[in-house]
Chains A and B, each alone.
Chain A
């Protein structure tokens, strides 16, 4: 599909909007529908879309394999460390009230980081799955 000019132009036009929409869903999840999971999937879908049109290597230049693997692990660690931070600040595991002097601000902060962790992991896993499957079909073509 690399040679189709319409697809190429439309893809290039849509990419920034898709990525910004993913960020919007991530950070606006407190107020409207959405959250880390949805944002992660949308961001991953944007990159999958890009890789389908420009080819897998182009997609992997955009989000390198190594980065995706790191994201996948860092997300869970981030989530878990928010819980540990709660213990260090004198609360229970995953207790957000102690993250700030004002309990409501503490809650907001906790939810923000937790959602960021979920988003990172989900985006990483979705992309990794896609890279794995698409990479295998390319191997099959060659071999």
Chain B
């Protein structure tokens, strides 16, 4: 049911020419995605999706729309090649999915590598009951540091780009 709503939203987004409508649909899509993630018991990710995808990025997109104008230009010619490419890639992905282990199979490689150790030892070693936090901040501390630096770099990049334009005007 949820997935069907997701599909409907995506199709509506592709058809819609009014970019304001697309932004609203995008926000709806994020909320649906967050619901799917809650259903999958990934509450941390769902929270991020709801806050970033549906909240902040919607506001940023609307701010950008205000600068650029609200309607998508008509495509110059019919896009048959991109359509064919998208269908081919989708087909290949669907074919590849048959090789994946079954959904929530306990014997799947991701569940038998380091995950049991984190689940069993994590709370004892770190004293943190939420395993997601323990893995993010402690076991995978380097990755999270890198992630934070990426966010920082994105911010600095935007500052560098937009501030220079402001100075030129003056």
**Interface, chain A (partner B; CB < 8 A):** 25, 29-38, 41-42, 44-45, 48, 52, 69, 72-73, 75-76, 79-80, 83, 94, 96, 103-105, 107-108, 110-111, 114-115, 117-118, 121-122, 124-126, 128-130, 132-137, 139-140, 143
Contacts and interface: CB of A to CB of B under 8 A. Distances in A.
Contacts of A41: 48, 51-52, 55-56
B15 interface: no
Nearest to B165: A136
29 contacts: A25-B47, A29-B130, A33-B130, A33-B132, A34-B44, A35-B132, A35-B136, A35-B137, A38-B44, A52-B59, A72-B152, A72-B155, A76-B148, A83-B141, A103-B125, A107-B128, A110-B138, A111-B134, A114-B145, A121-B148, A121-B155, A125-B152, A125-B154, A129-B155, A132-B159, A132-B163, A133-B67, A139-B169, A143-B169
Contacts of B129: 30-31
B130 A94 contact: no
B3 interface: no
Contacts of B169: 139, 143
A122 to B, nearest CB: 6
Q: Per DSSP, are chain B's interface residues mostly helix, strand or loop, or mixed?
A: helix
Interface residues of B, number: 47
B94 interface: no
A111 B148 contact: no
A69 to B, nearest CB: 8
A33 B43 contact: yes
Interface in B13-67: 43-44, 46-48, 51-52, 55-56, 59-60, 63-64, 66-67
